[in-house]
Amino acid sequence: MDSVFEYRDCPCCGGGDFEVLFQSSMKADDFDVLLDYSMEEYDSQEWGRYVRCRNCHLIYMNPLENVSKTNQYYREAKNTHASTVRDSYLRTAQSQLRLIQRLAGGTNLLDIGCAQGFFLFNASKAGYTAEGVEVSQDAAAYARREFGLNVEVKPFEEVRFGEAYFDVVTLWQVLEHVPQPLMMLKEVRRILKPGGLVVASTPNIGGIPAKLLGKKWWDIKRLHINQFATGTLANLLRNAGFRNISSVSFRGFVSLSVLLAMTLRYLNAYEPVGFLLSPHSASGKMMNKIMLAYSSRLNFATVIGFK
């Protein structure tokens, strides 16, 4: 049997010296509204332990849950909520794309962890030759079926794209899931053209909600094994060899029904009234049409760099 935990050095600087920050109180990813969870839970002193690197200050989970098991989970993950979030994700993607168009030229774009392809679809409509990689078979199938997108269903590291091929590579909410984010970004740098742009966005543990809620912050969850803030995400890009690194933002959208569902689940109060928010109910349909805009800075760190 595989061991349950895997210990690791700092995934940003390789340092082995850390302080224990806190033990996550969430035993399961119970706030992840839209995912079905079937992985068994482990009862351990070290489960969900976040540490901070004494060298570069990155906060990361250590030890990790068995990585091959987690990878299997990602491959098999079903995305039952795609139709519910579709409109809001497509609108968010428009803002993300405008950001990129202001920063970089060229037309070859790769989106790593493209999920159902909402961002990629907008990129492709805007004239990019857009490719995606995605480990979830279900999400990739959606992207191909709904949008006719070119999506490779493999871990990014296994694809081996040609050197200096892409003008833009994006990683929206990816690096917080990856055991070796530095290695991933070095590979991104290899496949970018000289002067090419990388955009990386993750939940921001230095943001206001994280500061207010501490370990109850909604992005403290079992699959978020690296917790970046703007500074540590910028460090990671720098360590991977990128230059002209800076922090940027985009406009995010969330529908009223998704926002309410997330809030109620967070408060453990979903059950009695959740049916009102179901996408199949009249009230749910109505509330799914009401879009609220927010600045990505509220909850996300987004950092860009150039090769």
Interface residue list for Zn ion (CB under 5 A): 10, 12-13, 15, 53, 55-56, 58
Q: Which C-beta is closer to Zn ion: that of 59 or that of 264? A: 59
Q: Which C-beta is closer to Zn ion: that of 59 or that of 153? A: 59
Q: In 10 A of CB 155, how many CB atoms? A: 17
Q: Are 226 and 61 in contact (CB under 8 A)?
A: yes
Query: Which distant-in-sequence residues (6+ apart) come within 8 Å of 101 by Cβ?
Result: 126
Q: Which C-beta is closer to Zn ion: that of 148 or that of 241? A: 241
How many angstroms from the chain centroid is the CA of residue 295?
A: 17
- Helices 230-239 and 181-191, axial angle in degrees (round to 10): 60
Compute the distance between CA of residue 117 and CA of residue 128 in angstroms, rounded to an integer: 14
Q: In 10 A of CB 5, how many CB atoms? A: 15
Q: Which C-beta is closer to Zn ion: that of 55 or that of 247? A: 55
CB of 230 to Zn ion, least distance (A): 16
CB of 294 to Zn ion, least distance (A): 30
Show the tokens assigned to 104. Answer: 């970089």
Compute the distance between CA of residue 106 and CA of residue 192 in angstroms, rounded to an integer: 11
CB of 10 to Zn ion, least distance (A): 3
CB of 285 to Zn ion, least distance (A): 47
Q: Which C-beta is closer to Zn ion: that of 17 or that of 41? A: 17
CB of 53 to Zn ion, least distance (A): 3
Q: Are 259 and 25 in contact (CB under 8 A)?
A: no
Q: Would you report the helix, strand and coil content of the chain in percent, each value rounded to 5?
A: 40, 25, 35
Q: Which C-beta is closer to Zn ion: that of 35 or that of 56? A: 56
Relative to beta strand 49-53, strand 64-65 is unpaired
CB of 194 to Zn ion, least distance (A): 28
Task: Give the CA radius of gyration of the chain.
Answer: 19
Q: Which C-beta is closer to Zn ion: that of 54 or that of 285? A: 54
How many angstroms from the chain centroid is the CA of residue 70?
A: 15
CB of 225 to Zn ion, least distance (A): 14
Show the tokens assigned to 103. Answer: 């920063």
